[in-house]
Amino acid sequence: MNTEASNTTDQPKSDQIQPKASTVKMPFQKYKPFEPVRLKNRTWPDQVIDEAPRWCSVDLRDGNQALVDPMTPDEKMEMYRLLVEIGFKEIEVGFPAASQPDFDFVRQIIEEGLIPDDVTIQVLCQARQELIERTCEAVTGAKQVIFHLYNSTSTLQRRVVFNMGREEVIKLATDGAELVKKHADTLKVAGTHVTLEYSPESYTATELDFAVDICAAVMEVWQPTSDDKMILNLPSTVEMATPNIYADQLEWFIRNLPGRDKAVISLHTHNDRGTGVAASELGLMAGAERIEGTLFGNGERTGNCDVINMAMNLFSQGVDPKLYLADMRRIVEVSEACTKIPIHVRTPYAGELVFTAFSGSHQDAIRKGMTVVDTGGDSQWEVPYLPIDPSDVGGSYRETVRVNSQSGKGGVAFILEHYFGVALPRELLVEFSPIVQQLTEQKEGELKPDEIWKAFVSEFIEVEGPYALIDYDLTSKDGLQTIAARITVAENQLTVTGSGSGPIDAFIAAMVETLNEPLNVVDYQEYALNEGNEAQAICILALMDDQERKHYGVGISQSTVTAAFRSIIASINRKWR
């Protein structure tokens, strides 16, 4: 035995991949699991969301304060106009006591009459006297205002940040509510209706009994009624557990809240665990009625609930989302321009690639599904791999299939059919697909539709070879058609003649005499590529040679006869090639 050789074999090569997880552990011990809610007979798992919630956009406040470069006044106005256009009826327009630009923006939309009658503006404020007074000054003159009052209630923040006990934190909230109520009475005289929204910030990290106690105390101060409710916003300020636990927290809260019929339960989820939308959806199932969020989930840290994602989820289930999202490209453009944050290509419903299939099997399924849709056999949308019709959000089904090295003949067929109106027979498609595959591998990337078409033209239409059709004369007598065609053979021109029962028979006869070998047409199809004065015909034809091999050729012309003749020439050239 060669010991030296054996040792060399046992030693890992320098370029071998070495897994670290088997030898080095992440410091998972420093974190503790979130305690689940001991909720008996929970009902939310059996609920179905069959109507849209009240939506409130917080793009101009939560979204704006999370930006590296906050929006300029013009950008804020552009975003505000978009939110109104989309259909938000409640819009948090800023934190007017926190900065002069926010204050000025609120005053501008009020003084310039830019708030539609059915839109309510919302303003955020901490439970501090001077901030409440400044906020009330900002909203003077508005018809409908939601005054969003908040203070943090979690055990961690009470201990670490505020050094307060439960009663002190409750007093902070109720004192704030008293101040807002006092100023709201003054605003009411001037024609402004004020709805109080109270958020026990960090609700997910607050003891459930304490969350109920502090919200009930604020309600006692505000004195809402079943006809004039206040809003209790229960935020997942930091997402700390799985969405089902958030739903349990909400169902427990709603079961135990005094005067439940006098409060609208609102949610404001964040996305620290990546499940902000799921948490909001399960929260609705648990009894919430209102959702705060932002376009595409922009917000602090990992962001907020993506309202567009959630609304489109409802839409895909046949529920009216109560937001108009048909021009998704414009929504993306405005959002990107105002926030300077690009929308990821995989963002649900809005990203560049969300309806795109590169996989060959997926492309084939989409192609067949679209064929069923185009026949109008069923009014319901059911296409494999496409949960919604891309055209519903301003897209095109043509964009669903793109071709790279992972694609197959289904993708090639889809591109030719839906971009160029060309439907290939299966044998021709099988012949062309490897050519496209080779091109994608050479390019090491995606082939655009025009590149696929160029390859098709080169391979089957404008085929290099010895023969070319210059022109022809066709006459008919006694049911027989006779052709005299001028063609080039290599560098020479000659006239060929022939007769047959139709133009194709006559031209084949002429070419057989010139070639001195049989030509048998074994596959033929012809159809219009488009309509109107510019309509063209396409002829796809296959000739069988004496060794029983098929040679496809394609011709395109405004004349069906010329298209057929060109397809024959292309087929012969491909045979010789």
Predicted pLDDT of residue 437: 87
Q: Phi and psi for 35 in degrees, rounded to 5?
A: -75, 125
- Distance (Å, whole) CA 394 – CA 391: 5
Query: What string of H, E and C letters represents the secondary structure of 34-69?
Result: CCCCCCCCCCHHHCCCCCCCEEEECHHHHHHHCCCC
- Distance (Å, whole) CA 498 – CA 481: 8
> Helix, strand, or coil here: 525?
strand
Predicted pLDDT of residue 521: 87
* pLDDT tens readout for residues 418-432: 889 898 988 999 999
Q: How many CB atoms lie within 10 A of CB 352?
A: 15
- Distance (Å, whole) CA 284 – CA 279: 9
Give 212's Cβ-side CA count (13 Å radius).
Answer: 14
List of long-range contacts for 36-43, beta carbons under 8 Å, 24+ apart? 36/241, 36/245, 36/248, 37/208, 37/245, 37/248, 37/249, 37/252, 39/248, 39/251, 39/252, 42/247, 42/248, 42/251, 43/251
The token pair at 389 is 């019709």
412 and 432 in contact (C-beta within 8 Å)? yes
- Distance (Å, whole) CA 171 – CA 318: 46
> Helix, strand, or coil here: 256?
helix
Return the residue matching tokens 């047959």: 500
* pLDDT tens readout for residues 360-381: 788 788 888 888 887 776 678 8
Predicted pLDDT of residue 1: 47
pLDDT tens, the chain, 577 aa long: 454 444 545 555 657 777 877 788 889 899 999 999 999 999 999 999 999 999 999 999 999 999 999 999 999 999 999 999 999 999 999 999 999 999 999 999 999 999 999 999 999 998 888 999 999 999 999 999 999 999 999 989 999 988 899 999 999 999 999 999 999 999 999 899 999 999 999 999 999 999 999 999 999 999 999 999 999 999 999 999 999 999 999 999 999 999 999 999 999 999 999 999 999 999 999 999 999 999 999 999 999 999 999 999 999 999 999 999 999 999 999 999 999 999 999 999 999 888 887 777 887 888 888 888 877 766 788 899 899 999 999 987 667 777 777 777 778 888 898 889 898 988 999 999 898 988 888 888 888 999 999 999 999 999 988 889 999 998 988 888 999 999 888 888 889 999 998 999 999 888 888 777 678 888 899 998 876 667 899 999 999 887 788 899 999 999 999 999 999 999 999 988 7
- Distance (Å, whole) CA 343 – CA 327: 15
Domain range annotation of the chain: 51-339, 360-461, 467-576
Q: How many CB atoms lie within 10 A of CB 15?
A: 5
Plot region of 111 (φ>0 → left; ψ -120 to 50 → alpha; else → beta): alpha
Cα–Cα distances (Å) from 356 to 47, 311, 363, 401, in that order, read 32, 21, 9, 5
pTM above 0.95, yes or no: no
Task: Spell out the residues 6+ positions from residue 340 whose beta carbon is closer than 8 angstroms to its own.
Answer: 67, 68, 69
Q: How many CB atoms lie within 10 A of CB 250?
A: 27
Predicted pLDDT of residue 336: 97
Can you identify the CATH homologous superfamily of domain 51-339?
Aldolase class I (3.20.20.70)
- Distance (Å, whole) CA 460 – CA 282: 56
Q: What is the dihedral of CA 95, 183, 219, 290, to 10 degrees?
A: -40
Cα–Cα distances (Å) from 270 to 293, 471, 523, in that order, read 9, 71, 61
- Distance (Å, whole) CA 552 – CA 550: 6
Predicted pLDDT of residue 378: 65
The DSSP symbol for 160 reads: I
Predicted pLDDT of residue 533: 66
- Distance (Å, whole) CA 101 – CA 81: 17
What is the identity of the amino acid at 11? Answer: Q
The token pair at 479 is 């049911």
Of 54, 148, 151, the closest CA to residue 106 belongs to 148
Q: Phi and psi for 326 in degrees, rounded to 5?
A: -70, -30
* pLDDT tens readout for residues 157-204: 999 988 899 999 999 999 999 999 999 999 999 899 999 999 999 999
The token pair at 274 is 């990546």
Cα–Cα distances (Å) from 216 to 200, 258, 323, in that order, read 11, 7, 32
Can you identify the CATH homologous superfamily of domain 467-576?
Alpha-isopropylmalate synthase LeuA, regulatory domain (3.30.160.270)
Alpha-helical regions (H) of 457-517: 503-515
The DSSP symbol for 96 reads: T
How would you class 436 by CB atoms within 10 Å of its CB: exposed for 0-12, middle for 13-18, buried for 19 or more?
buried
Return the residue matching tokens 């059919």: 417
